[in-house]
Structure 1
Amino acid sequence: MRFVIIGAGRVGLRTARVLRDEGHEVTLIERDESKIRRARTQEFSVVEGDGSREEILEAADVTNADALGALTGDLNVNFTACMIANHYGCRTIMRIDEAYREEIYREYADEVDEVIYPERLGAIGAKNALLGGTIRAIADIAPHLQVVELTITNGAPVNGYTISELQLPADATVLAFGKHDQPLGIPDEDLSLEDGDRLVVLADFDVLSEVRQLLVGESPGKAAANAGSDATSGTGGVN
């Protein structure tokens, strides 16, 4: 596949390297001379200029690209580039660096194919590493939806239940299940939940504390506090 990435900074260049390593063709757009030199030193094709200008996008052959990643730190540049690329039929991915507020997400999410927030992804990864333990945030799906992996404990109210007997809140659903030390897979309704087993759950932030209480056995106070910190941890400094 062919990709155009705007921004050869930390996020853009790393993304380009991953794509190239997987055999894809990548063209970068950048206007900072030092970043251009660094990208070209790594043997990337770089178009010099403002990625929000149509002629620069055309010079990068956006007309034949499968997707465009607008990954600069400038929200206006990213949004404008995505609107132009959308005109050419590209899949559009836009980076935002603002505080993770619902109104910002909603403003742009309907206009592009996907909005990414590298800082929040990084914060999730850092938090998981620091906390360790039985709960691991995986990804934000929307401003109020998060995918989490939870490890069943001896103190969990559902310990000993089968998957079919598990009753999560209405705004939560099981996506995957893995027995202790075994890979995750599609949930089997007849399997029992035991100490060390893992469940991957998609849940609304409003019910995360209840999910924690059921699957991990956290106290109501601790579960509410931890779920609240998940919902607001986007101010930390990751796809």
Structure 2
Amino acid sequence: MRFVIIGAGRVGLRTARVLRDEDHEVTMVERDEPTRRRARDQGFTVIDGDGSREDILEEAGVETADAVGALTGDLNVNFTACMIANHYGCRTVMRIDEAYREGIYRKYADQVDEIIYPERLGAIGAKNALLGGTIRAIADIAPHLQVVELTITDAAPVNGYTISELQLPADATLLAFGKRDQPLGVPTEDLSLEDGDRLVVLADFDVLSEVRQLLVGETATKAAANAGTGSSSAATELLEGETETDSEIDSDTGGVN
């Protein structure tokens, strides 16, 4: 497949390397000379210019690309690039860096194929590492929805239940199930829930604490503190305090990468 990546900073360059390692063809667009040189030194074709200009995207091959990733730190550049790519029938992925507010997500979500928030993804990984144990956040699907993997404990109220007896909150759905040390799969009703079994659940942030109490056996107070709610979660608050030094290390097209 052919991809055009706008922005050769940290996010763009790492994405390009992963795609190339999987034998995809990648062309990058970058207007900052040192950043452009760094990408070229790693063997990438890099177009010099502003990724929000149609002629630059055409030079990068948008007309024959399968997808465009607008991954700069400039929201306006990213959005404009995606709108141009839409015109050429490309799949569009847009990076946002602003605080993870539902209003920002809703403003752009319907106009691009995918929105990514790298800092939020990094926060999920950091949170998993810090918490350890029986709960692992997998992904944020929307500002109010998260996919989590939970491990049944002895303290879980549902320990000993079957899948058919499991009653999750209305805004939570069981996606996958795996017995201890077994691969995840589609759950069947007669499977029993035992210590060490894993469940993957899609849940609204409002019911995450209830899900944790039910499947892991956390107290109400601990579950509420650990679950967090959307943009007010501890992980997001930590990342909103990104230092100025970090911001200056990798930048392109007038934004942070």
Query: Is the TM value for this pair above 0.5?
Result: yes
Match in the other structure for 1:105? 105
Match in the other structure for 2:249? none
Superposed displacement of residue 130, structure 1: 1.2
State how far apart, in whole Å, the 1-side matches of 2:74 and 2:8 are. Answer: 13
Does the CA contact (< 8 Å) of 1:178 and 1:185 recur in 2? yes
The sequence identity of aligned pairs, in percent, is: 83
SS of structure 1 residue aligned to 2:23: coil
Match in the other structure for 2:128? 128
Could you report, residue by residue, the CA deviation over 1:170-192 in whole angstroms, capped at 9, with x for unpaired residues?
11011111111111111121110
Could you report, residue by residue, the CA deviation over 1:96-138 in whole angstroms, capped at 9, with x for unpaired residues?
0001000000000011011000000000001101110111100
Does the CA contact (< 8 Å) of 1:82 and 1:94 recur in 2? yes
Name which structure has the greater RCO, CA cutoff 8 Å, separation 6+.
2
Paired residue type of 2:74: D
Does the CA contact (< 8 Å) of 2:143 and 2:230 recur in 1? no
Match in the other structure for 1:156? 156
1:32 and 2:28 are equivalent in the alignment: no
State how far apart, in whole Å, the 2-side matches of 1:46 and 1:152 are. Answer: 49
Match in the other structure for 1:235? 237
Does the CA contact (< 8 Å) of 1:3 and 1:24 recur in 2? yes
SS of structure 1 residue aligned to 2:228: helix
Does the CA contact (< 8 Å) of 2:144 and 2:230 recur in 1? no
1:199 and 2:199 are equivalent in the alignment: yes
Alignment TM-score, normalising by the size of structure 1: 0.97
Superposed displacement of residue 225, structure 1: 1.4
Match in the other structure for 1:20? 20
Match in the other structure for 2:83? 83
Q: Which moved more, 1:223-232 or 1:41-50?
A: 223-232
Moved over 6 A (4+): none
Paired residue type of 1:19: L
State how far apart, in whole Å, the 1-side matches of 2:83 and 2:60 are. Answer: 16
Does the CA contact (< 8 Å) of 1:3 and 1:66 recur in 2? yes
State how far apart, in whole Å, the 2-side matches of 1:235 and 1:31 are. Answer: 31
Paired residue type of 2:237: T
Alignment TM-score, normalising by the size of structure 2: 0.90
Task: State the superposition RMSD in angstroms.
Answer: 1.0
State how far apart, in whole Å, the 1-side matches of 2:224 and 2:236 are. Answer: 17
Superposed displacement of residue 224, structure 1: 1.2
SS of structure 2 residue aligned to 1:68: strand
SS of structure 1 residue aligned to 2:202: strand
SS of structure 2 residue aligned to 1:222: helix
SS of structure 1 residue aligned to 2:27: strand
1:218 and 2:214 are equivalent in the alignment: no
Aligned residues: 237
State how far apart, in whole Å, the 2-side matches of 1:114 and 1:230 are. Answer: 18
Change (3 A) 1:27 1:102: same
Superposed displacement of residue 226, structure 1: 1.2
Alignment of 1:34-183 (within 5 A): 34-183=34-183
Paired residue type of 1:129: A
SS of structure 2 residue aligned to 1:148: strand
Q: Which runs of 5+ in 1 are unaligned?
A: none
Could you report, residue by residue, the CA deviation over 1:52-86 in whole angstroms, capped at 9, with x for unpaired residues?
01110010010100000000000000001001111
State how far apart, in whole Å, the 2-side matches of 1:210 and 1:235 are. Answer: 23
SS of structure 1 residue aligned to 2:78: helix
Q: Which runs of 5+ in 2 are unaligned?
A: 240-257
Change (3 A) 1:145 1:229: closer
Could you report, residue by residue, the CA deviation over 1:181-211 in whole angstroms, capped at 9, with x for unpaired residues?
1111111211100001100000001111110
Could you report, residue by residue, the CA deviation over 1:14-59 in whole angstroms, capped at 9, with x for unpaired residues?
0000001101100000011111111111110100100001110010
